[in-house]
Amino acid sequence: MHAAQLDLVELETRDLTDAQRLRSIAPERRLITWRGRAQQLEDAYRCITRTPAALYRLEVETTRASEALLPLQLLRREGREDVTAYATGPTGFWTRVIAPHLGARVLFERLDDYGFPQLHRFEKIFGIVGRPVLHSLSPRLHNEGFRQLGIPALYLPFDVSDFGDFWSALIEGGGLESLGFSVGALTVVSPHKEIALAAAGAKTPMVARARSSNFFVNEGGVWTADTTDPEGVLLTLRERGVEPRNQRVAVVGCGGSGRAIAAALQQAGADVTLVNRGYDRASLAVRLLRLPFLPLASFSPRGYAIVVNATPCGREGELPFDAELLEDEAVVIDLVYRGEPTPLVASRRARGQVTIDGRDVLRMQAMSQFHLMTGEPMPDEVPRVVLGLGEKGEMHDRPVAVRRLVAQDE
């Protein structure tokens, strides 16, 4: 096909010195693209915009949140509708979502869960910070809730390898505010849950006790570390009519989520035992919570009324412990969630027993976080549709396509 028959013809920087090629493509059909490192961005911008074109595209290759911010700051500063600039890769995904709100009028990939092709006005940013997070269902849940209630907010996934770089550049350094948006709250997930605590200006009593946080709230410029892990379990138990008081409970997994859930269950009156494969993390949990401990190698679920799996075990189809030893009436809580029930959950449901899986927990956590972020309840139909749940949170019989996730990290 001849260039004259195309709406846009992409040119790269090396083509800009080819006079014959430029003469063959009218300026209104030119799309000039530059790809390179953040340190070269300003020079590249000045270089490519000297050649008349319909559209200029600048793609910044980066693995750092601080560098991903630069193309957006360029867009805001220049205010040109003929310029599109963003960062590439997982670290830069959030910049591709924001770029159209800063004047970029062309998207170069499909972006679900963000309302495109409409541009919904927003003033405040919320988000989830971790690695990996692009598979998370949280943006879909919260953004749909914002749209239904007409709340001018946007929830973004920040795929971050270096939490310190992210925090100093985008939050403390005011990087997101420099784009014209305030930041209201952040869900912090693996592997940053523990290191992020150092950035908090205040901690809730539960966070201080369990040394675990998954939710940071900006309260008048002070970031308070909170956790919604306990609500995810306790509120779902009560919704199912299960009272943990005076019940023997085993929490398998002594990571951040396991510690917070164990502390909350003990506070609710349960007799809690910690279980873990390794001793280092277990010793921290025992010291913080002052609860009894059993090594996983010698753990039997027999005799426990409630057993919580707070490990990633089950994500690939394995069992965290011998499910055949569970009491007939034992309630199983498995924080892993994926497209189909884990073997642990499936084996219990086949017997008609009460089970709570990762999607149940995520539903309650998302609803709790939404209320903390907005002061409004999340519309009930949002988690039912997004997570494929029934009226009271139970899974539909028909399988729903959901990418594999681990609720303990959210």
Active site residues: 193
The 10 Å Cβ neighbour count of residue 353 is: 16
* Residue type at position 181: F
Task: Give the DSSP H/E element, type plus range, for residue 313.
Answer: none
Task: Give the DSSP H/E element, type plus range, for residue 121.
Answer: none
User: What three-state secondary structure class fits 312?
Assistant: coil
How far apart are the C-alpha atoms of 381 and 374, rounded to whole Å? Answer: 17
H helix intervals, 101-245: 138-149, 163-166, 205-210, 229-239
Residue 96 in contact with residue 116, Cβ under 8 Å? Answer: no
Residue 285 in contact with residue 262, Cβ under 8 Å? Answer: yes
Tally of CA atoms within 13 A in the half-sphere of 29 that contains its CB: 14
How far apart are the C-alpha atoms of 36 and 14, rounded to whole Å? Answer: 13
